[in-house]
């Protein structure tokens, strides 16, 4: 993405204006055609975006499932970009069915959760939503797209692992309300980009295909109901009177 990175050319300029201002945040939420409850000024706890994105650990249930279902993972990823000898050796033992190594991995997950971002028994890293807003009773997560060819639907180890659903999945074990959304470039959308992908989020079975391995049906529906749709950068620019930059010098980013 380089200098056209949507996090820097779109998300950061927008939320540098909104920050923790509940009035502006509620104006932003009103752009969605599905109801998002208004935020009270005193309820805002954390806003993360741009160069300060929130890093959220993957759910423990998923990490355990992956270890117990190594045959469902992309084994061809085993030798890719692994510089740590211990990691490579132990992962190879896992994939060859070494029960002792498997038990060690399961115990480490149970003992150390939330996990380190990278370790030999971890097959999904932390997830980083482009927009993360937490209040006393809710968490809002957003993905921003601009020049990307499409949404991200897989990870290194799993072929069916949607990026936005990953964010939602990482939050399902806490009690706060979850609201998720996309922000897209209207010009790109009208050319046909993202249209079919956005339709996927209207289907409960799409969420099920991403989550059924480790989530019960009630939590899959919770994930599905969290989705509040998508809006366009062009509409945001008009509402907030923003002249978004086309590019940014990433060599000078802070």
Looking at 60-156, which runs of residues are DSSP E strands? 131-135, 138-144
Tens digits of residue pLDDT in 44-58: 999 999 999 999 999
Tens digits of residue pLDDT in 166-179: 999 999 999 999 99
**177 has which bridge partners?**
138
With 0-12 / 13-18 / 19 or more C-beta atoms within 10 angstroms meaning exposed / middle / buried, residue 184 is buried
Residue 1: what pLDDT?
A: 47
Tens digits of residue pLDDT in 130-141: 999 999 999 999
The CA–CA distances, whole Å, from 5 to 24, 34, 193, 253 equal: 24, 27, 17, 11
> What average pLDDT does this structure show over 64-83?
86
Strands 44-49 and 131-135, how do they pair? Answer: antiparallel
* Mean pLDDT computed over every residue of the chain: 92
Instruction: Locate the domains of the chain by residue range.
Output: 2-56+129-252, 60-112
**134 has which bridge partners?**
46, 139
The CA–CA distances, whole Å, from 190 to 3, 151, 186, 227, 235 equal: 23, 16, 6, 21, 14
Residue 254: what pLDDT?
A: 45
How sure is the predictor about 86, in pLDDT bands with cuts at 50, 70 and 90? confident
- Contacts by 137-140 with C-beta closer than 8 Å and gap 24+? 137/43, 137/176, 137/177, 138/37, 138/39, 138/176, 138/177, 138/178, 138/179, 139/171, 139/174, 139/176, 139/177, 139/178, 139/179, 140/36, 140/179, 140/180, 140/181
> What average pLDDT does this structure show over 222-246?
96
How sure is the predictor about 150, in pLDDT bands with cuts at 50, 70 and 90? confident
Tens digits of residue pLDDT in 7-36: 999 999 999 999 999 999 999 999 998 899
Residue 206: what pLDDT?
A: 98
């Amino acid at each position: 993405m380089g200098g056209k990175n949507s996090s820097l050319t779109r998300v950061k300029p927008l939320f540098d204006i909104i920050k923790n201002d509940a009035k502006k945040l509620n104006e932003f939420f009103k752009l969605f055609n599905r109801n998002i409850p208004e935020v009270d000024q005193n309820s805002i706890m954390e806003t993360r975006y741009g160069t300060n994105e929130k890093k959220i650990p993957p759910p423990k249930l998923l990490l355990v499932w992956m270890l117990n279902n190594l045959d469902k993972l992309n084994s061809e990823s085993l030798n890719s970009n692994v510089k740590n000898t211990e990691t490579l050796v132990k992962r190879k033992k896992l994939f060859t069915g070494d029960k002792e190594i498997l038990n060690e991995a399961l115990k480490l997950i149970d003992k150390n959760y939330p996990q380190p971002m990278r370790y030999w028994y971890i097959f999904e890293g932390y997830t980083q939503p482009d927009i993360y807003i937490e209040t006393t009773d809710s968490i809002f997560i957003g993905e921003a797209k601009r020049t990307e060819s499409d949404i991200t639907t897989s990870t290194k180890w799993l072929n069916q692992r949607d990026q936005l659903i990953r964010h939602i999945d990482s939050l399902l074990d806490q009690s706060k309300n979850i609201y998720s959304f996309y922000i897209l470039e209207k010009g790109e959308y009208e050319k046909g980009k993202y249209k079919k992908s956005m339709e996927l989020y209207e289907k409960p079975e799409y969420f099920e295909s991403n989550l059924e391995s480790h989530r019960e049906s009630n939590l899959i529906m919770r994930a599905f109901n969290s989705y509040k749709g998508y809006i366009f950068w062009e509409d945001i620019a008009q509402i907030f009177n923003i002249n978004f930059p086309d590019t940014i010098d990433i060599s000078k980013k802070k």
